[in-house]
Structure 1
Amino acid sequence: MKTENQQHRLDKIAAGMVCSILCCIAAWQVEVHRLLLIKKKGIDPSKPSNPNDPNQIIPMSTFWLLPQFNLLGLMDALAVEGLQEFVDNHVTKSMKSYGKLFSDCVLGFGNIFSMRCILLIRTWFKDVINNSHLDRYFLALAMLGLVFFCIYVFCVLPKYAHMEAPSEDLELEDVLEDGVRDLTESKDVLEDGVRDLTEAENVLEDGVRDLTETEDLLEDGVRDLTESLPSRRNSSSFQWRKVLTVISVARHLYPPLKKGQQHSRLKSE
């Protein structure tokens, strides 16, 4: 069913291009018929037409324009709408609002190309419509439309005829893949956080263990200091006794040393 709908949209575009070619052909034939009537009636094509002069009135009804404008309306209804449906069918739901803009962009490029063609054949357009060659212009447009139609049939149709449109299941699958990817990334971040928390807990346990060992060492040091206090008191008293002995010896030796220094000074003098 999707392939049939796709082929239906492509057929609508092809039918619109055919209507465009027929529109240009109809306009070409109407202009040829109008120029023949001008020649038959002997109207001077270099002079502007005067509606008040009965000799310059062309015996031709405005209903001659009806076929080409009907074909132009069919072209707009088929090709433009088919192009918009084709774009809407090949994009996701969030991009469907741009289908009309894309079809208008394609038509804008066509208008630019048409204006360039007019500049190339500007010698066909004169100040007076009876002296212009609008028949050649419409024929050139019909030939260009035929060339583009052949390109569309032999290049575009074989490529897109059997291409399935992206379904909503594919769009939901893409959303689901994005969600799974985000969930996996969140899981990795959570695992990294748990790993960091475990490492911090191990570091805290090591710090508590080191603090306990330091506390035990401190208790052992206090115990050893308490046990060694009596011996330290005895050793300090022994040291004081040695200091007092040295002082007493120095006091007894100081006068003779002083006299010896004075005697040596007198000799030197």
Structure 2
Amino acid sequence: HAVVSAQPPTLFTKQGVTMDRSISPTFQVPAASLKCFISISIIVSIAIYDRLFVPLARRITQKPSGITLLQRIGTGMFLATLSMMIAALVEIMRLKTEKDCGLVDTPNATIPMSVWWLIPQNVLFGVSQAFTMVGLQEFFYDQVPAELRSVGLSLYLSIFGVGSLLSSILIYCIQKAIADNLNRAHLDYFYWLLAGLNLAMFILFLHFAKGYIYSRRTV
């Protein structure tokens, strides 16, 4: 999941650079600014989760937190997988558009496809982060002994550090294709790979989560 988390600042932005970002004849949306939809969706998702979802889930499950911490983390992992699938489908559309327009070998040309097509994958990714990141923070804070809580939070941050490192390695392996011509890089294959890996990790997560015994009754 942490590898997936490293994609919006890199490949999502690379996609956006090649697409039509015009709002007016004199202004273009910076491709990197689409990340604001991630932040907005995180804020909105957390508010909806706390104000609407938790009270409703609490009535059903009779748990103070509505759902368990691991269920929250697992939900985020599943949504992140869907985000990568959507990213792959959008990339397939982008590649088809540039092929139909004869722009395959013109990497610096703007493809007549709106950059707003990237919003769904960014929004869904933001929602997944609201579940996963907050869930991990709560898990490492709540489930470790009090004297080791600072270590637990460090472990939480290290997960995303390792994910960024692995993402860098993967991108290094394909960077020549990306640097030379994004239109021939087939990022859709890469997104499908990430979706498959994340789905496999999600299944493993479910397996181990079933046997986990919480150290407190409040979760």
TM tier, smaller = 0.5 to 0.7
Q: Which amino acid aligns with 2:215?
A: A
Unaligned runs of 5+ in 1: 51-56, 168-269
Identity of aligned residues (%): 31
Q: Which amino acid aligns with 1:96?
A: R
Question: What is aligned with 2:137?
Answer: 84
CA positional deviation for 1:91:
1.7
CA positional deviation for 1:82:
0.5
Question: What is aligned with 2:202?
Answer: 149
Q: Give the distance between the partners of 1:131 and 1:80, measured in 2 at CA.
A: 34
Decide which structure has the larger Cα Rg and report it.
1
Is 1:62 matched up with 2:115?
Answer: yes
Contact 1:124 1:134 in 2 (8 A): no
Q: Which amino acid aligns with 2:113?
A: M
Q: Deviations over 1:227-266 (max 9, x none)?
A: xxxxxxxxxxxxxxxxxxxxxxxxxxxxxxxxxxxxxxxx
Q: Judging by fraction of residues, say which structure has more strand.
A: 2
Is 1:9 matched up with 2:69?
Answer: yes
Of 19, 35, 60, the residue aligned with 2:79 is 19
Question: What is aligned with 2:147?
Answer: 94
Of 48, 53, 58, the residue aligned with 2:107 is 48
Unaligned runs of 5+ in 2: 1-60
Question: What is aligned with 1:158?
Answer: 210
Q: Which amino acid aligns with 2:99?
A: K
Q: In 2 relative to 1, CA 166–2 (structure 1 residues): closer, same or farther, beyond 3 Å?
A: farther
Q: CA RMSD in A?
A: 2.5
Q: In 2 relative to 1, CA 144–134 (structure 1 residues): closer, same or farther, beyond 3 Å?
A: same
Question: What is aligned with 2:55?
Answer: none
CA positional deviation for 1:6:
9.6
Is 1:104 matched up with 2:160?
Answer: no
CA positional deviation for 1:159:
2.0
User: Relative contact order (C-alpha < 8 Å, sep 6+): which is higher?
Assistant: 2
CA positional deviation for 1:22:
0.9
Q: Give the distance between the partners of 1:20 and 1:6, measured in 2 at CA.
A: 21
Q: 2:211 aligns to what SS in structure 1?
A: helix
CA positional deviation for 1:5:
4.6
Q: 1:60 aligns to what SS in structure 2?
A: strand
Contact 1:12 1:78 in 2 (8 A): yes
Q: Deviations over 1:76-120 (max 9, x none)?
A: 211111111111111233333344322110111222222333344
Of 82, 92, 116, the residue aligned with 1:32 is 92
Q: Give the distance between the partners of 1:122 and 1:59, measured in 2 at CA.
A: 25
Q: Which amino acid aligns with 2:121?
A: Q
Q: Which amino acid aligns with 1:157?
A: A
CA positional deviation for 1:14:
0.5
Question: What is aligned with 2:169?
Answer: 116
Contact 1:13 1:80 in 2 (8 A): yes
* TM-score of the superposed pair, with normalisation by structure 1: 0.52
CA positional deviation for 1:39:
1.2
After TM superposition, the structure 1 = structure 2 runs for residues 189-208 of structure 1, keeping only pairs within 5 Å, are none
Q: Deviations over 1:188-225 (max 9, x none)?
A: xxxxxxxxxxxxxxxxxxxxxxxxxxxxxxxxxxxxxx
Q: Deviations over 1:63-83 (max 9, x none)?
A: 111111111111221111111
Q: Give the distance between the partners of 1:144 and 1:68, measured in 2 at CA.
A: 17
Paired residues, what number? 157
CA positional deviation for 1:49:
2.0
Q: Give the distance between the partners of 1:15 and 1:158, measured in 2 at CA.
A: 14
